[in-house]
Structures are given as structure tokens and as C-alpha cells.
């Protein structure tokens, strides 16, 4: 018996040891069969229109497959099928939501608002093992649903790995590229690659982390230099990525291709940039949205009108054509210190690129040079609303980008998040989700002089009227009296370089100096990435932070109470009258105020532009006095600081001109005293923030302006305008 026991133990041991070394048994890998002829044809058809338009006879073209930036980027509007498999919903979405969105502190029983929403709008069809989104009943909060699905990382468009796909079907890329080459060879020449063009992994990583200027090329700069080598002439470069493929053996195939055609011979001018959905004849049309092709189509009349308007403004500003420019996504980076990189951003920049490229004489250049955004701590230390681009010397902009002009843009979303229902038979379209895009063209060779400042309107008036940020922009955009006054009184002239500084926001920086309850909260969020030990970048975290701040703006006119407005999402709040804000609520409100103030400033910039008093972009960091106040923080020093400039400058003089190349500082403060309750929210008096913003309104009723000469420090202008 004992012997048998021994044998049994040894057998068990051997089993354990052998089990340790083996991996879980995998299903045998199934090759993917495709119709290579179809792929060849579709590759050719995808590129042919572009090639016909841009490839010139004799051009030598290099095709460069690149990894898609979009591959791991999140969605702002999560593609959502009407039916979600039960295992996905119960195994991933609901547990993920429960984990991410907890009930507020003190609530012992019940679910968070997010989980409650999930339970309410999805019903289980047990027979088919799917959860069905209820689209026929009462309207659900799409914004909140988008926040949940983005939070748990769900998307109805599955993440696609081209390398994995190609491994299982080695002929796919070859057939596709052969088709594309066929399109090119009609006029030009393509050639066989012997070495992979160097792709910068760091750039990919930094781009996904929101550090790199959005839309920067993944190609290494050195490779670009090689392409420009006269001994190996390459006139055009076609970078392409396969973003998604759906296939069923040889039955059908559909895929989503991104192209970027760059004119190497002309210094990197982007000729065409966009995404194509290609599918075989038998490809089920209802699967087209599942390919995830996303585009922003500007209405032709809007595009045409804006093209003319932009062209006219640039001409009026004396911009010499042709002009080279690069896009720099600004968005809310000056407020939040970073931004969530989403797939929608690519569609927006593609549309803008198409629009600006269609302006005669405007060349949009490829962002080959790897340039980052300012660090969050730089943004935190600088005066309010500095340009987020990071440079050592902004005068070098032209040298490294090959472009004199920066086209900065901010998207005004109808809703900050949401879902895209995967239904119908078309690509996903963004135009209905955007109210407009604020655009400013900055002359980097003229110390950041703004030569165009405008709002590209996409939404209808009624939607725009309801948007708080747009109303902030509109409030100051129409204020033309300031430009006239400055001109008439000869405070400025054509050669004056001036920057706008929001004096009220600089004074409000003392909010941080005062050890505000939200201070650590703000710094944690704003300085994320600069804090040792903190993760560099958590896209969803940034997205949710933006969401919370924007949520405040949704409640204007609906409540008089900032407490309700500033609740973080998912807070099932109490009903008693609020006295103070929690740190999270204060942060949300403070960020919302920051957002509003940036739109006020953009509006004011547009007004000054229109009045021929264009300001300069704040490229270099001018520093805020709160920095020193925060560092020294003597208890009784508040009075000392009270009478000083909000800027941290030791003395006025030529050095400021030398360093910043500015002549005048235009301070402005927008104040509200008696705006109607429907147009403001009230900060609870017990909160420190109420000292600085007792009311938060998009309709300030006064604008205080003062102009200081940086050489002498003299006030040259002071006026309190009543805004009507």
C-alpha cells in the first residue's frame, strides 16, 4: 500500500512539475484566407484618385507603411453596437464600470449613476445572449454612456493589429501595396524598399501620451533628411497605415486605410491626408461602420465660405503667398496641461488640413520635427492661457518645421463625450458633434503675431446659443470698441507687439497661493507626469477630468448653485443647501472658469484682429507673481503683494523687449456684477473660490482694460467698458 502511495505522490509531483512548465493549450491558429485580387484592386482604387490628383509624371514615390497612431488611441465618441454580447457586457463593461465609478462616499447602498444608467438602458436577450441598447424608449444620457464605455475601454470597433493579421495572412500587405503601386505607376515611379524607414518608437509613445504635438509624423527626422538627399531623389512620400480589416475567408473583405501623401521635394508639404474605407463587392454593408472609419465632413457651403473668409483675412493681413503652415492642436491643453488623444482628433485635423490646403497659396506642412507640448508644470507656472507649444526659441519655428505660420485650433464639441451607434452602412461621421472650431494663424517669424482669428461654425445657431463656451467667445468677439480706442489713441500701431493678459485670472492665482482646498487636487491633476511616481499619462483619467470640468458648464441656467454644477459625475448628491464645495467640486468649477476665460480671451483676440489691432500669441512663458508668493508665503505678506503687478518681472526695461519681443501688455479683466440668475452660477460663499468668483457667468458686464509699456512700465491706457 505504501509503495502505491509513493508512486502516486511521485506521479502527482511529476504532474505538478510538468504542469508548471506548460502554457495553456491554445486553439490551433487558423490562417485567414483572402481574395488577394480583391485586395490588390482595392489598394489601387483607394489610392488612384489621390495619385491621379497629386502624382506628377516622373515622380519617384516611396511607400512607407507606418504603425497607426490610432491603433491604441481612445474614442471620444465610443462606437457602440446596438447589441453587445452578453459575455462582453457582463464580463467587462459592467464590472469595469462598477470598479471605476463608485457610489459617492457615505452612500452605502446602491450603485453609482453610471452603473445605474447601464442597468437602465441595456436589456438582456437571454436567448441570443446579447444585451440590447434601448433606443426606442426615453432618451438616455449619451454623454454619460460615452464616459462609461470610454472609461472601461470598450469600443464596438475592435482593436486591430495589422502585424498579427499579416502574420496569419502573409499576402495581404503585399497585395495591398502592389495595388497602391499600380495606382502610382500610372504617372510616377515606385520602388522596392531594401530597408525599413526608421520609425520613432519614442515619438509614437509620446504622441499617445499627449506629449508630442498632435499629428507629428512618426518618421524619424534623420530618415526625412535622407529622403531629401539629392543623390537618392524621392519626390513624394506616401505613408499609409491599415487601421482595420474585417474579412470572412475569401468571401469578403473590407478595410480602413489612412494615407498621408507628402511632397518631399517641396520641403514636406502635405498633399493629401485622409482615411479611406474599402470593401469587396460582397462585404456586408452593415459592417461598414464597424471598420471604424471616422471622418469630419465640412458642409460644402461652410467650407467654401470659410475658405474665402480665411483667404481674405490672410490677404488683408499682408501674408505673402505661398505661405507654409503647420497645425498645432491647442484645444484645452493650456487649461488642463495635457489632453486625451482620441481618434476623433485625427478626423478633425484631416478636415482642417483639407480646408486650409484648398486655400490658394497655403501649404500645410508635415510635422516632421518632433516637438512637444509644454509640460503641465510650465503651464501651471505661466500666466493664464499660454500657447501650449514648447520651444527653446520660437523664432526657430520656421527652421525646424519649415513653416513660418502656426495654425492653432480648438474644437468646440457639442458634447465632450458620447457614443456613435454602429448602425447604417456608412462611415462614422463627426460633423454633427462639433459646434465649431476656433482657428488662429500665428506668424512665428513676427514674434507670434496673430494674423487670423476666427471661429469656423459647424453647428446651428440654436445649438451654439446653448453652449456656454461659445457664448463666452461671442461675448467678447463682438466687442470692437477696444481695438478702435487703442488705435485712435495711438496706444498701438501696426508695429506694436502686444500680448493679452487676463489680469483677473492672475489675481485669481492667489487662490492657489491661499492654500485652496482644491490646490493639491489641482496640482495632482495639472502636474500629472511631472510628479515623481505618478503615471506619465492615463488617457482615460485625463478624459474623465475634462468631462468633470465640462459637466459644470452643462448646468448653466439650470441651477443657481455651483455646488450642483461642480459635482463630479456620478455623484448622487444630497439635497440640502450647500455651504462649501469639496476639493473635487472646487477643482471642477475652477477648471470650468478657466475654460470660459480662455474662450473670452479668444473672442477678445478675434475682436482685436477684426479691429486691426492683432495681439501676439503668448508663446514664451511670462510668469505669474503667485509663484514667488507661493514659495515665500510669509503670512503677513499679502499686503505687500496686493499693490504689485500680477506678473513676475523684476524691472521694466529693454530686457523684456529683448527676451519676449513685446512692446505692450494689454491687461483685461472681465467682471460680472448683476447678471441674471439664468446666466450664472453662484459659488457657495463658504468656499475660498467665492472670493475670486462669487458668480460665474458667461455674460460679464464690464471689461477693464489697461495697457502697460514694457520699456517704461507706464500705464498708457486704462478704461472700464460696459458690456452690453
Partner 1 sequence: MKRVLLIVALALAFVLPASTQDFTFLQPPTLAVMDFEVSMSAAENEATKTFYGQLISQALLTVLVQQNAAPQVETPRDKYLGAPEYNKENPGLAGSAQAATELRRYFPPIFKIFDKKYVELALQNNNFTTRDLYTKSVGAYAFTDLDYLVLGNVYETRIGSGEKQRDAIGFNVRVLNTKRAEELYSYSEVVDSDLRDLPAACARIAQLIMRDILNSHCAQFVIKESAEVSESPEEKSLLFFWQSRQIRKDDATVADSDDSHKRMVAKETFYWALPGQYVISVYNSVTQQIKTIPFTLAPRDIYHITIEKQHLESERGTITIKGVLPTDSYRFEAVPEKQREQYWWEIGVSSNPPPGFTVEISNGEEPLVYMTWPDKLRHTKDEAVKAVFRPASNDIVIGNIQISGYEVTATAQPSSGASAITGWWRVSSRLFVRSSPYRVDLHTQKDVSIAIADFRLQEKKALEAPRKTKVSFLFNPGFESQALLKIDDTLNSNWMYWRDKEKLTIESEYSQADWDALPDVSYTFMFLYRPSVSGEVDGGIIFTRSFKKPDLEPSRDTVVIIDLNQEALKQKPAQKVQAAPTSAAHAKPPTAVTKTQAMANAQPPGSTASQGKPASKTLLQAGIGMGYGSLSYYADVGYAQEEVSSGIDIPMNAAILWNLSPSLGIGAGALLHFQTSDQFVFGAAGTVNLVARGPSSSLAFLFDLGVGTGFTVGAGAAFVDPAKGSGVYLRLGYMIDWSTGHDIYIGGYDYSATNNSFSLIVGYLWPL
Q: Measured from the CB atom, is 106 or 392 closer to partner 1?
A: 392
Asked if 226 touches partner 1 (CB under 8 A), the answer is no
User: What gap in Å lies between CA 655 and CA 640, rounded to an integer?
Assistant: 25
User: What gap in Å lies between CA 402 and CA 325, rounded to an integer?
Assistant: 8
Q: Measured from the CB atom, is 633 or 685 closer to partner 1?
A: 633
The cell for 576 is: 440640502
Asked if 15 touches partner 1 (CB under 8 A), the answer is no
Asked if 6 touches partner 1 (CB under 8 A), the answer is yes
The cell for 425 is: 452602412
Query: Which residues are within 8 A (CB) of 300 and not within 5 positions of it... i.e. 6 or more apart?
Result: none
Instruction: Please tell me whether the peptide bond between 322 and the residue prior to it is cis, using omega within 30 degrees of 0.
Output: yes
Least Å from the CB of residue 683 to partner 1: 29
Least Å from the CB of residue 543 to partner 1: 24
Buried/exposed code over 12-30 (b: 16+ C-beta within 10 A; e: otherwise): eeeeeeeeeeeeeeeeeee
> Per CB under 8 A, which region of 13-21, 234-242, 311-319, 476-484 contacts partner 1?
13-21
> From the list 52, 161, 396, 720, which residue makes contact with partner 1 (rule: CB under 8 A)?
396
- Taking CB under 8 A as the rule, which mask of x and - marks residues 352-391 in contact with partner 1? --------------------x--x-xx--x--------xx
Cell 505660420 belongs to residue? 405
CB 598 within 8 A of CB 604: no
Q: Measured from the CB atom, is 54 or 377 closer to partner 1?
A: 377
Q: Show contacts with partner 1 in window 18-37 (CB under 8 A).
A: 20
Least Å from the CB of residue 391 to partner 1: 6
Q: Measured from the CB atom, is 394 or 470 closer to partner 1?
A: 394
Q: Show contacts with partner 1 in window 451-480 (CB under 8 A).
A: none
- Taking CB under 8 A as the rule, which mask of x and - marks residues 520-539 in contact with partner 1? ----------x-xx------
**Please, which residues bridge with residue 418 across strands?**
77
User: What gap in Å lies between CA 699 and CA 678, rounded to an integer?
Assistant: 10
Least Å from the CB of residue 364 to partner 1: 21
User: What gap in Å lies between CA 383 and CA 617, rounded to an integer?
Assistant: 12
> From the list 10, 11, 120, 305, which residue makes contact with partner 1 (rule: CB under 8 A)?
10
Q: Measured from the CB atom, is 393 or 488 closer to partner 1?
A: 393
Least Å from the CB of residue 675 to partner 1: 36
Q: Measured from the CB atom, is 17 or 643 closer to partner 1?
A: 17
**Please, which residues bridge with residue 707 across strands?**
666, 717
> From the list 19, 137, 300, 392, which residue makes contact with partner 1 (rule: CB under 8 A)?
392
Q: Measured from the CB atom, is 512 or 546 closer to partner 1?
A: 512
Least Å from the CB of residue 206 to partner 1: 12
Q: At what angle do helices 481-488 and 583-610 cross, to 10 degrees?
A: 50
User: What gap in Å lies between CA 475 and CA 85, rounded to an integer?
Assistant: 48
Least Å from the CB of residue 3 to partner 1: 7
The cell for 314 is: 490672410
- Helical ranges in 438-561 per DSSP H: 461-466, 468-477, 481-488, 503-508, 510-513, 519-526, 539-554
How many residues in the shown chain lie near partner 1 by CB under 8 A?
41
> In which element (H, E) is residue 719 found?
strand 715-722
Asked if 399 touches partner 1 (CB under 8 A), the answer is yes
Q: Show contacts with partner 1 in window 618-677 (CB under 8 A).
A: 620-621, 623, 627-628, 631, 648-656, 658-659
Least Å from the CB of residue 20 to partner 1: 7
Q: Is 145 strand, coil or helix?
A: helix
The cell for 102 is: 463608485
**Please, which residues bridge with residue 697 across strands?**
680
CB 354 within 8 A of CB 307: no
Q: Measured from the CB atom, is 538 or 564 closer to partner 1?
A: 538
> What is the DSSP pairing of strand 498-502 with strand 664-671?
parallel
Count other C-beta atoms under 10 Å from residue 55's C-beta.
25
Q: Measured from the CB atom, is 85 or 530 closer to partner 1?
A: 530
For binding to partner 1 (CB under 8 A), which residues are involved? Answer: 2-3, 6, 9-10, 13, 16-17, 20, 372, 375, 377-378, 381, 390-393, 396, 399-400, 530, 532-533, 620-621, 623, 627-628, 631, 648-656, 658-659
Amino acid at each position: 500500500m505504501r509503495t502505491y502511495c509513493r508512486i502516486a505522490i511521485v506521479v502527482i509531483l511529476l504532474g505538478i512539475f510538468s504542469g508548471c512548465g506548460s502554457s495553456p493549450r491554445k486553439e490551433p491558429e487558423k490562417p485567414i484566407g483572402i481574395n488577394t485580387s480583391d485586395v490588390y484592386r482595392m489598394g489601387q482604387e483607394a489610392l488612384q484618385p489621390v495619385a491621379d490628383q497629386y502624382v506628377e509624371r516622373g515622380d519617384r514615390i516611396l511607400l512607407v507603411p507606418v504603425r497607426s497612431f490610432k491603433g491604441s488611441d481612445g474614442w471620444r465618441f465610443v462606437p457602440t453596437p446596438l447589441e453587445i454580447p452578453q459575455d462582453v457586457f457582463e464580463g467587462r463593461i459592467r464590472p469595469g464600470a462598477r470598479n471605476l465609478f463608485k457610489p459617492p462616499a457615505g452612500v452605502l447602498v446602491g450603485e453609482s449613476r453610471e452603473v445605474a444608467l447601464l442597468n437602465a438602458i441595456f436589456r438582456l436577450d437571454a436567448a441570443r445572449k446579447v444585451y440590447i441598447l434601448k433606443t426606442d424608449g426615453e432618451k438616455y444620457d449619451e454623454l454619460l454612456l460615452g464616459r462609461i464605455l470610454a472609461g472601461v475601454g470598450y469600443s464596438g470597433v475592435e482593436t486591430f493589429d495589422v502585424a498579427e493579421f499579416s502574420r496569419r495572412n502573409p499576402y495581404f500587405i503585399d497585395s495591398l501595396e502592389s495595388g497602391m503601386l499600380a495606382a502610382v505607376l500610372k504617372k510616377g515611379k515606385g520602388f522596392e524598399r531594401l530597408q525599413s524607414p526608421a520609425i520613432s518608437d519614442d515619438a509614437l509613445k509620446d504622441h499617445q501620451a499627449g506629449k508630442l504635438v498632435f499629428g507629428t509624423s512618426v518618421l524619424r527626422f534623420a530618415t526625412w533628411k535622407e529622403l531629401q538627399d539629392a543623390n537618392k531623389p524621392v519626390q513624394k512620400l506616401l505613408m499609409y497605415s491599415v487601421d482595420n480589416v474585417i474579412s470572412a475567408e475569401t468571401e469578403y473583405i473590407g478595410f480602413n486605410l489612412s494615407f498621408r501623401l507628402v511632397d518631399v521635394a517641396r520641403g514636406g508639404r502635405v498633399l493629401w491626408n485622409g482615411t479611406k474605407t474599402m470593401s469587396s463587392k460582397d462585404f456586408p454593408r452593415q459592417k461598414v461602420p464597424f471598420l471604424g472609419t471616422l471622418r469630419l465632413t465640412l458642409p460644402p457651403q461652410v467650407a467654401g465660405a470659410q475658405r474665402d473668409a480665411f483667404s481674405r483675412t490672410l490677404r488683408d493681413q499682408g501674408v505673402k503667398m505661398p505661405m507654409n503652415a503647420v497645425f498645432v492642436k491647442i484645444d484645452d491643453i493650456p487649461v488642463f496641461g495635457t489632453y486625451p488623444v482620441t481618434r476623433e482628433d485625427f478626423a478633425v485635423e484631416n478636415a482642417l488640413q483639407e480646408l486650409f490646403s484648398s486655400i490658394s497659396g497655403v501649404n500645410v506642412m508635415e510635422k516632421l520635427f518632433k516637438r512637444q507640448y509644454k509640460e503641465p508644470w510650465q503651464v501651471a507656472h505661466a500666466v493664464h492661457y499660454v500657447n501650449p507649444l514648447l520651444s527653446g526659441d520660437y523664432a526657430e519655428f520656421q527652421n525646424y518645421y519649415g513653416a513660418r505660420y502656426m495654425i492653432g485650433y480648438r474644437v468646440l464639441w457639442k458634447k465632450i463625450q458620447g457614443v456613435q451607434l454602429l448602425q447604417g452602412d456608412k462611415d462614422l461621421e463627426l460633423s454633427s458633434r462639433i459646434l465649431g472650431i476656433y482657428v488662429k494663424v500665428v506668424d512665428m517669424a513676427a514674434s507670434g503675431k496673430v494674423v487670423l482669428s476666427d471661429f469656423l461654425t459647424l453647428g446651428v445657431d440654436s445649438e451654439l446659443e446653448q453652449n456656454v463656451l461659445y457664448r463666452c467667445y461671442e461675448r467678447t468677439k463682438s466687442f470692437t470698441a477696444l481695438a478702435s480706442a487703442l488705435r485712435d489713441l495711438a496706444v498701438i500701431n501696426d508695429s506694436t507687439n502686444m500680448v493679452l493678459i487676463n489680469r483677473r485670472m492672475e489675481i485669481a492665482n492667489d487662490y492657489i497661493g491661499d492654500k485652496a482646498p482644491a490646490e493639491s487636487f489641482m496640482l495632482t491633476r495639472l502636474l500629472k507626469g511631472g510628479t515623481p511616481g505618478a503615471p506619465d499619462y492615463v488617457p482615460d483619467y485625463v478624459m474623465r477630468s475634462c468631462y468633470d470640468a465640462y459637466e459644470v458648464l452643462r448646468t448653466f441656467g439650470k441651477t443657481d448653485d455651483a455646488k450642483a454644477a461642480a459635482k463630479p459625475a456620478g455623484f448622487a448628491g444630497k439635497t440640502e443647501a450647500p455651504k462649501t464645495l469639496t476639493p473635487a467640486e472646487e477643482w471642477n468649477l475652477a477648471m470650468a472658469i478657466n475654460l470660459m476665460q480662455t474662450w473670452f480671451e479668444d473672442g477678445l483676440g478675434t475682436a482685436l484682429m477684426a479691429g486691426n489691432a492683432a495681439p501676439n500669441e503668448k508663446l514664451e512663458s511670462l510668469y505669474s507673481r503667485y509663484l514667488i508668493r507661493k514659495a515665500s508665503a510669509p503670512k503677513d505678506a499679502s499686503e505687500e503683494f496686493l499693490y504689485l503687478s500680477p506678473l513676475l518681472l523684476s524691472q521694466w526695461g529693454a530686457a523684456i523687449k529683448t527676451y519676449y519681443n513685446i512692446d505692450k501688455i494689454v491687461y483685461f479683466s472681465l467682471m460680472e456684477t448683476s447678471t441674471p440668475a439664468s446666466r450664472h452660477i453662484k459659488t457657495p460663499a463658504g468656499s475660498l473660490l467665492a472670493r475670486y468668483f462669487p458668480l460665474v457667468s458667461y455674460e460679464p458686464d464690464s471689461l477693464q482694460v489697461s495697457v502697460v509699456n514694457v520699456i517704461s512700465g507706464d500705464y498708457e491706457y486704462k478704461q472700464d467698458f460696459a458690456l452690453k
